[in-house]
């Protein structure tokens, strides 16, 4: 019975072919169907207030969209955009059939949530990366704002406390800045060598 339900759900789907560079969905649109990519590549992305794209993930053959799944389950509108990168073929399953499959087919439910869990893990990794990027910009800005005569008499432990971050992250960023030639680390303090480079780094990261 469960396999029969799964087959019935798939039979309700429509195979859609979308040329490259076209929108699959846009932020604010209502989600009405489950999308499963059969062939091609899709980019799912958000936008910063300044209009810069932030890629959330890519979908390839055999993969589904975690945002679509989330929006269908919560009856919500899309919080991001999706655009085809190549010619794409995707199965579109209407929401009523999707919900029936989740409720009555173990095979269909396992397929949906296996993909959902994998994609969710990658999104958590992306959030960590974006948070890390925000910390490095905050650190660069703090160094410039609190330096006196191109010097700060602060340890990386004190910086970590001031920036509400971990000592490991702050020390790693300081060493990266030092390797780029922007500053010099010494016991109990930091010398700013290239303030202009730090300013440019901040401007580029927040553009």
CA distances from 151 to 159, 160, 180 (A): 14, 17, 17
Spatial neighbors of 60 by CB under 8 A, at least 6 apart, are 37, 40, 41, 42
CA distances from 13 to 39, 55, 101, 124, 131 (A): 15, 28, 12, 30, 39
CA–CA separation, 103 vs 39, rounded Å? 27
Q: What are 58's strand-pairing partners?
A: 43
CA–CA separation, 14 vs 16, rounded Å? 6
Domains and CATH numbers, the chain: 2-123 (2.60.120.10), 136-205 (1.10.10.10)
pLDDT tens-place values along the chain, 207 residues long: 447 777 888 888 899 999 999 999 999 999 999 999 999 999 998 887 667 777 788 889 988 888 999 999 988 999 999 999 999 999 999 999 999 999 998 888 888 888 787 777 767 766 665 666 678 888 999 999 999 889 999 888 888 888 877 888 888 899 999 999 999 998 889 999 999 999 999 888 776
CA–CA separation, 178 vs 187, rounded Å? 14
């Amino acid at each position: 019975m469960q396999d029969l339900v799964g087959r019935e759900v798939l039979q309700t789907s429509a195979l859609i072919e979308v040329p490259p560079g076209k929108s699959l969905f846009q932020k604010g649109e209502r989600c009405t169907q489950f999308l499963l990519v059969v062939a091609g590549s899709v980019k799912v992305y958000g936008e910063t207030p300044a209009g810069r794209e932030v890629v959330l993930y890519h979908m390839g053959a055999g993969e589904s969209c975690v945002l679509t799944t989330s929006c269908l389950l919560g009856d919500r509108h899309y919080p991001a955009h999706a655009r085809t990168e190549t010619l794409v073929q995707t199965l579109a399953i209407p929401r009523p059939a999707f919900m029936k499959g989740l409720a009555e087919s173990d095979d269909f439910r396992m397929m949906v949530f296996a993909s959902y869990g994998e994609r969710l893990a990658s999104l958590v990794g992306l959030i960590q990366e974006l948070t890390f990027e925000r910390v490095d910009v905050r650190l660069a800005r703090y160094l410039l704002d609190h330096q006196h005569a191109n010097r700060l008499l602060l340890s990386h432990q004190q910086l970590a406390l001031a920036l509400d971050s971990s000592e490991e992250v702050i020390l790693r960023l300081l060493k990266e800045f030092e390797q780029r030639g922007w500053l010099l680390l010494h016991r109990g303090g930091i010398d700013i060598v290239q303030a202009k480079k730090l300013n440019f780094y901040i401007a580029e990261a927040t553009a």
